[in-house]
Amino acid sequence: MSKQDCACPKFKTMCGGQALIEGIMMRGPKKQSIVVRKPDGELEIQEKDLKFIKDKYPILGWPLIRGVVNFADSMYSGVTALMFSAEFFPEDGEEEEPSKLEAWLNDKLGSEKFTVLITTLAVILGIGMSIGLFFLLPTLLGTAVTVLTDSMLVRNLAESLLKLLIFVAYLALCSRMGEMKRVFSYHGAEHKTIFCYEAGLPLTVENVRKQPRHHPRCGTSFLFMVIAISIIVSTIVFAIWPLHNPFLRFLAHLAMLPVIVGVSYEFNRWAGRHDGPITRFFIAPGLWLQNFTTFEPDDSMIEVGIKALELVLPEEKGADAW
């Protein structure tokens, strides 16, 4: 990791985003924007004001609880934005006819409720696949060590190593997919744009291009912390309360997951607000993993990032301070 990757921004913003298919979503303190570069080169722009559930139910904004709530909200908004960007790039360059089931649901529910249903199902499926891949699979594979030893410590160690290996292998495989490389390049453009803004520089292509693409508050770093903290928590829990049955162990992992997500979120907030050798030590693995999930963008991608960020910046300077 280069010194440039560890550069400390002069200002830390709560603005952040997500890479899409040929586009970027940005979220500010009050607004969200989606900017997609269509096949004809023009920009498609969508803006909306944000409404937060914690404003209605303050308890959902409390530490630890807010991490789970924000994770669910970011998953839903992320999938919605991804589906929006995908509409401009149908497979084989042709519009697909909706299936009979889709047409029936759309007719019965209406287009708005139908979209909510599809998005919700996509979020549930995505979370389910992640849990299966990073928690269920290591738990099942970890049972293999029981053939050699009954040691709970060895089993915990085996499952921990499997979690890390599967996570890194998953990111590495995704980074080698042709279509994902462009998405990850837009991811790089998003990070560079945020860094440029935090450095207090004018948002120009030239200024953004010079910025690092590894950001400590990236979702990749958050996911790594979820895996890392799950290893620590599960090791402690299973040392106190040994469980050998793989099904019960998996249920225990599920029960611990909300706590793990909440702690990971609070850690990311802490790491995002502090600079120093201790912080850099803890965020180093997440920054390294961003070598798989961010690539250098071209100028057209940077233009998308700049436009998306400009649309969500608050009118009052400093109102988006992290």
CB contact at 8 A, 43 and 37: yes
Q: Which residues of 272-283 are buried (b: 16+ CB within 10 A; e: fewer)?
A: beebeeebbebb
Interval 74-128: pLDDT, tens: 999 999 999 999 999 876 555 556 556 556 555 656 656 656 777 788 888 888 9
Q: Mean pLDDT score of the chain, rounded to an integer?
A: 88
Which pLDDT score is estimated for 10? 63
Which pLDDT score is estimated for 125? 87
Structure tokens at 43: 């920009």
Phi/psi for 31 (5° steps) reads -130, 155
Interval 150-189: pLDDT, tens: 888 899 999 999 999 999 999 999 999 888 999 999 999 9
Q: Is the pLDDT of residue 2 over 60?
A: no
Which pLDDT score is estimated for 119? 77
Structure letter (DSSP) for residue 145: G
Q: What angle do CA 109, 110, 115 make, to 5 degrees?
A: 90
Q: Which of 3-12, 39-48, 308-317 has the lowest mean pLDDT?
A: 3-12
Extract the runs of DSSP E, i.e. beta strands, from the chain. Answer: 16-20, 23-27, 31-37, 43-49
Percent of the chain residues past pLDDT 70, beyond the cut? 89
- Of residues 55, 244, 30, 66, the one with CA closest to residue 151: 244
pLDDT band (50, 70, 90) for residue 9: very low
The CA distance from 5 to 8, in Å, is: 9
Domain ranges within the chain, ordered by starting residue: 12-73+134-310
Which pLDDT score is estimated for 3? 37
Structure tokens at 132: 């299966």
Residues of the chain by 3-state class (helix, strand, coil), percent to 5 = 65, 10, 25
- Of residues 285, 257, 283, the one with CA closest to residue 130: 257
pLDDT band (50, 70, 90) for residue 253: very high
CB neighbourhood size of 43 (10 A): 14
- Could you give the dihedral angle defined by the CA atoms of residues 292, 200, 13 and 307, in that order, rounded to the nearest 10 degrees? -70
Mean pLDDT, rounded, for 267-291: 88
